[in-house]
Structure 1
Amino acid sequence: MSQSMLIITRQAPWSGPSAREALDIALAGGAFDLPVAMLFLDDGVFQLCAAQQPGSLQQKDLSANLQALPMFGVEALYVSQRSLAERGLLNEPASLAVERLDDEGLSALIDRYDQVITL
């Protein structure tokens, strides 16, 4: 039986390689049919913003990787309601269909997974 894995991504897409690495892990796990979910937390919520322009920071665009998640079987996508609120993003449209969770929901989510990776 495959162990379930939750990947918590906490970094903005332009702040270094962590956001890309989290997506790569999720895509690889999905390619091998592992039960994988992603949680966007803290500055990681910025990855969900539409119409980003990372080229001005000499960064690669992660939107194609994000859009590929469901194609690789990574359909359980979550975002912290508090992180969105703290960053003024509550009313911004997300580039992906994600389930918003409060703090209690986050705790329950983390408890459901066998492995938790935070980047």
Structure 2
Amino acid sequence: MAKSLLIISRQAPWAGPAAREALDIALAGGAYDLPIGMLFLDDGVFQLAPAQQPGQLQQKDLSANLQALPLFGVESLFAAARSLGERGLNASALSLAVQVLDDVALTALIDRYDQVITL
């Protein structure tokens, strides 16, 4: 049986390549039917903000990649409640359906996975 993998995405979509790399890893793993979860933490929750305009920063839009996650079998999507609150994001207005977790649930989530990658 394949080991489970949790990808923690901590970077804003416009802060460099880390957000895109995290999505690429998730999509690739999903294509091979690996049990993958993705956690948006810290500035990574900005990836879930609606109506982004990355072209103004000469960045590529990540929304299509985000929307493709469930199509590739990456359906375990999570966001940190504290990160959302600190950045003024409302969980009900995000561009992707995620399970919002408090700090205790985050610890339990990370413990559930065999391997964890943080980008």
Which category of TM-score, normalised to the shorter sequence, fits these structures? over 0.9
Within 5 Å, which residues of 2 pair with 1:29-44?
Answer: 29-44=29-44
TM-score by length of 1: 0.98
Secondary structure of the residue aligned to 2:77 is strand
Structure 2 gap ranges (5+): none
Residue 92 of structure 1: how far off its partner (Å): 5.9
Kept in 1: contact 2:91–2:100 (CA 8 A): no
C-alpha distance in 2 between matches for 1:44 and 1:110 = 16
Alignment of 1:45-56 (within 5 A): 45-56=45-56
Q: Which moved more, 1:34-43 or 1:85-94?
A: 85-94
Question: Which residue in 1 is equivalent to 2:17?
Answer: 17
Which residues in structure 2 correspond to 1:72-111 (within 5 Å)?
72-90=72-90, 93-111=93-111
The Cα of 1:88 is off from its aligned counterpart by 1.1
TM-score, structure 2 as length reference: 0.98
**Runs of 4+ displaced beyond 6 Å:** none
TM superposition shift of 1:50: 0.8
The alpha carbon displacement at 1:91 in A equals 5.5
Residues 118 and 108 of structure 1: CA distance in aligned 2, closer, same or farther (over 3 Å):
same
Identity, in percent, stands at 76
Report SS of the residue matched to 2:71. helix
Alignment-derived partner of residue 67 in structure 1: 67
Name the amino acid aligned to 1:115.
Q
Matched pairs, number: 119
